[in-house]
Amino acid sequence: MMRLVLASASERRQNLLHRLTDNFEIIVSNFNEDKIAFKGDCGNYVMELAKGKAMEVANRLNTDAVVIGSDTIVSFKNNVLGKPKNELDAFNMLKLLSGDTHQVYSGIALVDKVSKNIKIDYVCTNVKFSTITDEQIKKYIDTGEPMDKAGAYGIQGFGGVFVEEIHGCYYNVVGLSLNKLNCMFKEMGVNL
């Protein structure tokens, strides 16, 4: 059985990966995301971030393994919304998303230490928010949920109440497209 390593501290990604396999370990990546500059293409950006995370962990390993790296961003009118710096930042992000459609991009990278094979891809999902009031935004921020999430919301938590509709992969919005990852495993010959 191939050793699988998830290069992420994200509990959401860990929980999602458990839907495909329980046979993996977690080694958190120390990759400096600031090394990758956003050049206007969200898909390329998340793929580069995911690859950087996976490569950083793969380079530390001295045994055979397939390392999974992933990164998720929210894009509104081609502006990247990362994790909020503080409550005001979270408020401004949610205010921006209110009553409009944004995109969620997740990059996935698989790095095979043995074959040196690297597979990288991304998924984009369109998410439409209903119009939300300042009071609703403040109440949501008080839950603490927005603070560690790209775009300042979690679709799988309290933030899901703002989502009017989605077009694309739900799990991508949570942080890891199970369908895309499963297809990439098959393409790489990883049998779960």
The answer to whether 71 is a known catalytic residue is yes
Distance CA 58, CA 62 (A): 8
**Alpha carbon of 97 to those of 34, 80, 116: distances in Å?**
24, 12, 40
Secondary structure element (H or E) that encloses residue 91, with its range:
helix 87-97
Q: Which amino acid makes up residue 126?
A: N
Annotated catalytic residue: which of 34, 71, 100, 134? 71
Please give the Cα distance from 111 to 89 (Å, whole number): 34
Q: Which residues are catalytic?
A: 71
